[in-house]
Amino acid sequence: MEKTIEYFKTHSTEEVAEFLLGMYVEHETSRGKLGGFIVDCEAYLGPDDEAAHSYGMRDTPRVRAMYQEPGTIYLYTMHTHLILNMITQPKGIPQGVMIRGLEPAEGVAEMIRNRGGQTGAAISDGPGKLVQAMGVSNELYGESIFNSRLHLVPEKRRYPKEIERLPRIGIPNKGIWTDMPLRFTVKGNPYLSKQRKNQIDSANGWCG
């Protein structure tokens, strides 16, 4: 974990987003451990990024976690769905990565239950879906992705065959930020948002 913490502290938000692809994230719940591999995420480069909640150094109670240490968990609600983010820069620099897709690996039956019976890619192929599947609640706001009940497990990580950079999803009318390639995906993984079936790789996009 020390190397992962150091990576967050010494690399750009875009580099951290790419680094997170294949990273294993685990949530210790009262119904057992739920976990999976990150396959889709987006970088947000506030205060310059017009799509970031911290654009222009906006500082409200809602975004206070964005100004905390690297690894701080930032959760917010969008269209009734809770969305998971990780802060990626030193305290006072409000940048982060939103987790958009997760390939389930442990506690899959419980994830399906959390998703109301949804199976396959529908378990966690979107930011709100994966948070619901993993049983994440707002109680984790402001805690650390390194040592809270919701945490990264670097020793379980996998490695993508190919990483694809794309424009972020749902960012209209934000000037240059609308089309900037700040979305990072494991190419060919079935748990990507808006993934087409004919683009799915037989190995889900993983090496080995």
Query: For residue range 120-169, what is the model confidence (pLDDT) as tens digits?
Result: 999 999 999 999 999 999 999 999 999 999 999 999 999 999 999 999 99
- Tell me 10's DSSP state: H
Quote the tokens at residue 194: 């808006």
- Give the chain's mean pLDDT: 94
C-alpha to C-alpha distance for 34 and 113, rounded to whole angstroms: 12
* Residue 179 binned pLDDT confidence (cut-offs 50, 70, 90): confident
Q: Residue 16 pLDDT more than 80?
A: yes
Kindly report the pTM of this predicted structure: 0.95
pLDDT value for 195: 84
Burial of 134 (0-12, 13-18, 19+ CB in 10 A): buried
State phi, psi for 207 to the nearest 5 degrees: -75, 150
* Residue 23 binned pLDDT confidence (cut-offs 50, 70, 90): very high
pLDDT value for 59: 78
C-alpha to C-alpha distance for 100 and 64, rounded to whole angstroms: 21
DSSP secondary structure string for all residues of 36-70: EEEEEEEEE-TTT-TTSTTGGG---GGGGGGGS-T
C-alpha to C-alpha distance for 98 and 203, rounded to whole angstroms: 25
pLDDT value for 8: 96
Nearest to 123 by CA among 136, 140, 109: 109
C-alpha to C-alpha distance for 159 and 131, rounded to whole angstroms: 22
* Residue 84 binned pLDDT confidence (cut-offs 50, 70, 90): very high
CB burial readout 1-24, b (16+ within 10 A) else e: eeebbebbeebebbebbbbbbbbb
Q: 83 and 62 in contact (C-beta within 8 Å)?
A: no
Query: What number of other Cβ atoms are within 10 A of residue 204's Cβ?
Result: 17
pLDDT value for 133: 98
